[in-house]
Chains A and B, each alone.
Chain A
Amino acid sequence: MEKHVVVIYPHPDDESFGAAGTIAKFREQGVPVTYLCGTLGEMGRNMGNPTFANRETLPEIRKKELIEACKVLDMELVMLGYRDKTLEYEDRNEVAVHLKGIIEEIEPSLVITHYPEHGVHPDHNALGAAAVEAVRLMEPEKRPTVWAQAITNTHIEELGKPEVINDVRDNFDKKMDAILCHQSQANGVIRSWNQSEGLDNDLKEEAKKRLGYESFYIWKY
């Protein structure tokens, strides 16, 4: 059983869409989980449907949504204070050293992050790379395991099958609850799957199909 898990993703809602089921399972086992959220998603274009946010109110709104989701998932939250859509312009080493400091303080047995170059969003790639680098900078015997999540359409073709595949469908309600905390964002993503005005059940089935498995590659140093 893991001792402590640290999740490192850049945007409020990455944790819910990407790893909510995995996180919930760890919490069920009594494993502490800490989420290092890179930014407040300041530059997201989803403003709710119907629209209720604007470019200026969005960060505060997403911050509240993030706090709610972390309550649902029962995990500790640390906001890293970077800005959405600028992570790849930050000095990679500085970000890595920042993350390394926090990781060394928490001493997790496992770090979960995005697979660099396979995160799709530039922030995912940048923060994933910094997280991988942060652990690389540590003494080998002190390094936590790193699970890296790839979401590009080509990842299986290019990286092979992920070593860790978590079937999270049995506690899917919790994942949906976490996702729905991100009211400003959830609608936009969900609607992009299901163009028709289907029933709530259809939506949940569609969500289960797309988000029912959370897969990770074990990073090899």
Chain B
Amino acid sequence: MKPIELDKVQEKLESFIDKDVYVHLETTNGAYASHVNAKAYNVGVYIRNAKVRFNQAKIVGDGKSYRAGLKMEIGWIYAEGLTDWEIFEGEKLLMAGHDREGRLMVALQISETPFNY
């Protein structure tokens, strides 16, 4: 993955508009968070292969970290803290935010075919 290039990612996001797409959305602070620091909370979510359709998509940010918002007919998909991106297997858009140790903190991935499960 490489640092997000706003124009290119925006273009790729728009290519998914008004199509049935599969989404992987995730955030995590690791399964060992409270084991390492008793005051930390173990918090995380993931949805893998939710089939959605959005009619508007935008990525916004200041060059350090980005926020992507996808507007659906009856709701929203949002991810904050994205730093890197990649086109995987020719068509899948992968976006992720990594911390200083290279660990994933947040991910938003969009594809016209399901992700491996």
A and B held together in a complex: yes
A120 B35 Cβ-Cβ under 8 A:
yes
B 81-95 contacts with A by CB, 8 A: 84, 86, 88-89, 92, 94
With a cutoff of 8 Å between Cβ atoms, the chain A residues found around residue B109 in the complex are: 55-56
Residues of B within 8 A of A (CB): 1, 24, 26, 28, 30-32, 35-36, 38, 46, 84, 86, 88-89, 92, 94, 96, 98, 101-105, 107, 109, 115-117
With a cutoff of 8 Å between Cβ atoms, the chain B residues found around residue A56 in the complex are: 88-89, 92, 94, 109, 115-116
B31 A122 Cβ-Cβ under 8 A:
yes
A54 B105 Cβ-Cβ under 8 A:
no
With a cutoff of 8 Å between Cβ atoms, the chain B residues found around residue A83 in the complex are: 117
User: Does any Cβ of B come within 8 Å of A171's Cβ?
Assistant: no
**Chain A residue with the shortest CB-CB distance to B36:** A192
Residue in contact with A51 in the complex, picked from B1, B24, B88, CB distance below 8 Å: B1
Shortest 7 CB-CB distances between A and B: which pairs?
A: A49-B102, A51-B102, A45-B104, A121-B31, A45-B103, A120-B35, A45-B28
Q: 1/0 contact trace for A51-92 toward B, CB 8 Å? A: 100111101000000000000000000000001010000000
With a cutoff of 8 Å between Cβ atoms, the chain B residues found around residue A25 in the complex are: none
Q: How far is the CB of B26 from chain A (nearest CB, A)?
A: 7
Q: What is the CA–CA distance of A54 and B93 in the complex, to the nearest angstrom? A: 12
Pair count A-B, CB < 8 A? 65
> What is the total number of residues of chain A having a CB less than 8 Å from a CB of chain B?
25
User: Does any Cβ of B come within 8 Å of A188's Cβ?
Assistant: yes
With a cutoff of 8 Å between Cβ atoms, the chain A residues found around residue B115 in the complex are: 56
| CB within 8 Å for A54 and B96 given contacts A45-B30, A59-B116, A121-B31 | yes
With a cutoff of 8 Å between Cβ atoms, the chain A residues found around residue B88 in the complex are: 54, 56-57
| CB within 8 Å for A187 and B101 given contacts A54-B88, A56-B116 | yes
Q: 1/0 contact trace for A93-123 toward B, CB 8 Å? A: 0000000000000000000000000001111
